Structure 1
């Protein structure tokens, strides 16, 4: 077995990696639960800067494949129908109902000093949330979310940054969704004889 030096090109790559900032590992611990009401089963609802405005009641849903924007936010951001791009796929709501999108719009999302652009599907339907942030946003930011810890963590500039959830707002949203449900709809429990 012979031992030799790496070629100069490999040495340069290793040197650049050593000088560059290491990406911090993303993790959650019991310390991240401080300031949250435990135990809970609350959704992760945050405030984000979307299109230059601070937007409340934004649901972070890593189970969703697309970012969704509802009418109140679309109008509040002063967007016009001409700002929409065509989007012709149907979306399925939480209740299993299909919704025809009005179109798609690309907007910047700012978290602290970090900015990513996201394509929102604009849906004319009721929601207690103003928007839903999904995997494309999380992946573009390099983020990981935790409903248990009520946080989104992402690496930036060699350190870890956080977006903190608002449990009170999450609970208001669920109460709003439940109170809006028509009384004529049978509950799943009633349908199952429970």
Structure 2
């Protein structure tokens, strides 16, 4: 894996935004997923689940609400697919989900805050790249 100018240009500094990406959780395309190396759990909001017709009765209740989903990180054949157990939180939150250390480690991910991107091992063993979604939007708007 490498981080160079052919992959992504460094951001204009100072830049302190968090890395937020889009991944597929279950069959839902979930935007605004915070990549948080300080989180010891993978989280998803109850609000995001309700929008996709999930109800609390679908959750496994132990001492916290848990649900397992097939997760696809990446796009169209260039992805890593795995089963991930999420803790469900029923609270207002700026993000739809948090990719914490369990998912980051399972991806074998390397994160570059300087370039706001994440590299990971795809199912085929090649290197996949997720770029920060706000930056993608800004780049798309600046080219039109």
Common topology (TM > 0.5): yes
* 2:88 is aligned with 1:122: yes
Does the 8 Å contact 2:42/2:102 carry over to 1? yes
Q: How many residues align?
A: 131
The residue aligned with 1:78 is: 53
TM-score under structure 2 length normalisation = 0.80
Q: Are 1:109 and 2:99 counterparts?
A: no
Indicate how the Cα distance of structure 1 residues 158 and 105 shifts in structure 2: closer, same or farther if over 3 A, else same.
closer
Q: 2:25 aligns with which of 50, 66, 71?
A: 50
What is the RMSD of the two structures over their aligned residues, measured on CA atoms? 2.1
> Whose helix proportion is higher, 1 or 2?
1
Separation (CA, whole Å) in 1 of partners of 2:39 and 2:62: 17
- Contact in 2 for aligned 1:62/1:145 (Cα 8 Å): no
Match of 2:127 in 1: 160
Segments of structure 1 that go 5 or more residues without pairing to the other structure are 1-25, 89-100, 170-194
The structure with the largest strand share of the pair is 2
Unaligned 5+ segments in structure 2 are: 137-144
Q: 1:136 aligns with which of 75, 98, 102?
A: 102
SS in 2 for 1:42: coil
Higher Cα Rg: structure 1 or 2?
A: 1
- Secondary structure of the 2:105 match is helix
